[in-house]
Amino acid sequence: MTVSTSLSRTETLSLFSLSAACVGIIANTFQGDGEPLIASIAFSGIAYASTYALIRWLGDVFMRAGLKGRDMSKTRTDEIPETMGAVCAVVYLLIIIVFIPFPFYKDIVMATSGGGNRDLVLEVQHVETGRLLHRFPHSKLSSYLSAILSIQSVVLLGVGDDLFDIRWRHKLFIPAFAAIPMLIVYFVDFGVTQIVIPTPLRSYFGALFDLGWLYYAYMAAISIFCPNSINIFAGINGIEVSQSLVIASLICLNDALYLSPFTEYPHPATDSHLFSLYLLLPFIGVSLALWAHNWYPARVFVGDTYCYFAGMIFAVVGIQGHFSKTLLLLFMPQIFNFIYSAPQLFHIVPCPRHRLPKFNARTGLLECSTAEFRKPLSPLVSAVMRLMHRLRLLRIVENDAGQITESTNFTIINLWLVWFGPMREDRLAIGLLTMQTIVGLVGLFIRHRLALWVFTADNLHYTYSSA
């Protein structure tokens, strides 16, 4: 299969009509109050169309720049463009930068002419002395800008990694630096470092427990975890983009629960959930365009750039939207994969450069990939691995002397193959994604329904009576 670099007639026509319709919708929002949510949806349509076209046009350019990779799970040996996440990230950043005035349209009008009355002529010294500008929600703007800054920094890391293959132990901590702008805004604006204690434990700790600086460490840890956990749950066509799309859609679903048809009165958390939607909708737009090219059989690879970019967006919306625990519920498969991978990540057992499943060219199916152990493993590690083997959490091969010489790689993707046997790449991806969607939906259900068992109130059903 050759990679076609131009758009077909139908594609050009559909992308063009989509963009034209979206531009029309955006122009229309100026008639009313700016309607930021509608504008955001329209911007996401433009993001989709532009990313789709650019991925196609820039494929060759990326290949010439050396950004390419071989699909290890196919019989063909030619290379395809990699780092297409960079295209997504650039389109995304441009779109959310252009979008900045929209959520603030009402405030700008109010702040500049008073009471939303646009035909009132203001004397310039009133504006400049800030007498009216104080109404402008600077804190909301700084959240938005710091989010952009954090995402942008992590994209730089991702591109650097795709170009130079940065060592794991170095790249692990870079997202923590990228998170600093966002954490400072959190400190200045919100500064809440207390956590609500579940009811059964209240007699020991009280209702609230102040984590202090540990809360910032926790948020930095989330910023490190989200990007990296997506990058290690990778290696089969479409899995990186699809898992990000599932997480993004579930967060949007959770955000929607806080908006008007679902809550009776303006909910106090409406603004932070709108903020999350403004950041996620264009992300879904660019990701769908990438998905169309990265799903089995992949025509492009997403690169580490995409994994970091996606993970950082989730960290940013989770932290600034004040729902980091709900976010972690939606990261269950990634958390499992990380814990399961830990022995290899921390080199307790050897870790090959690639842990993606092994392609069997004869059957066309993917099989578990394995790590070989030349040196004998310590008795404790061997014992644990034998137990895991018996529990079907791993598959090991022992030699005549009873030493473990080989085991399947410690990833959730390989574990799926241990459980369900060899399968085609797309069926493997669909299986894992279905599991992820079900786990996420159950997580959200637990979050909103069963949370009342351990907490006195679920913040979705907010009441004005004091807690």
User: 71, 162, 304, 425: which one contacts Mg ion (CB under 5 A)?
Assistant: 304
Q: How many residues does the chain have?
A: 467
Burial class, 128, CB count within 10 angstroms (exposed 0-12 / middle 13-18 / buried 19+) = exposed
User: 231, 254, 337, 370: which one contacts Mg ion (CB under 5 A)?
Assistant: 231
Give the residue from 371, 336, 374, 372 showing the smallest Cα distance to 356. Answer: 371
CB of 133 to ligand UD1, least distance (A): 46
Region near Mg ion per CB under 5 A, out of 170-178, 303-311, 363-371, 389-397: 303-311
Region near Mg ion per CB under 5 A, out of 33-41, 205-213, 223-231, 333-341: 223-231
Q: Report what 461 binds from Mg ion, ligand UD1, none; CB cut-off 5-8 Å by kind.
A: none
Q: Report what 255 binds from ligand UD1, Mg ion, none; CB cut-off 5-8 Å by kind.
A: none
71 binds Mg ion (CB under 5 A): no
With respect to Mg ion, which residue has the nearer C-beta, 40 or 237? 237
CB of 309 to ligand UD1, least distance (A): 13
Judged by the rule CB under 6 A, the positions of this chain that interact with ligand UD1 are 69-73, 82, 231-232, 234-237, 298, 301, 304, 354-356
Q: Report what 298 binds from ligand UD1, Mg ion, none; CB cut-off 5-8 Å by kind.
A: ligand UD1
Q: Report what 29 binds from Mg ion, ligand UD1, none; CB cut-off 5-8 Å by kind.
A: none
CB of 48 to ligand UD1, least distance (A): 22
Q: Report what 285 binds from ligand UD1, Mg ion, none; CB cut-off 5-8 Å by kind.
A: none
CA distance 51 to 84: 9
Q: Report what 237 binds from Mg ion, ligand UD1, none; CB cut-off 5-8 Å by kind.
A: ligand UD1
Positions touching Mg ion (CB under 5 A) are: 231, 304
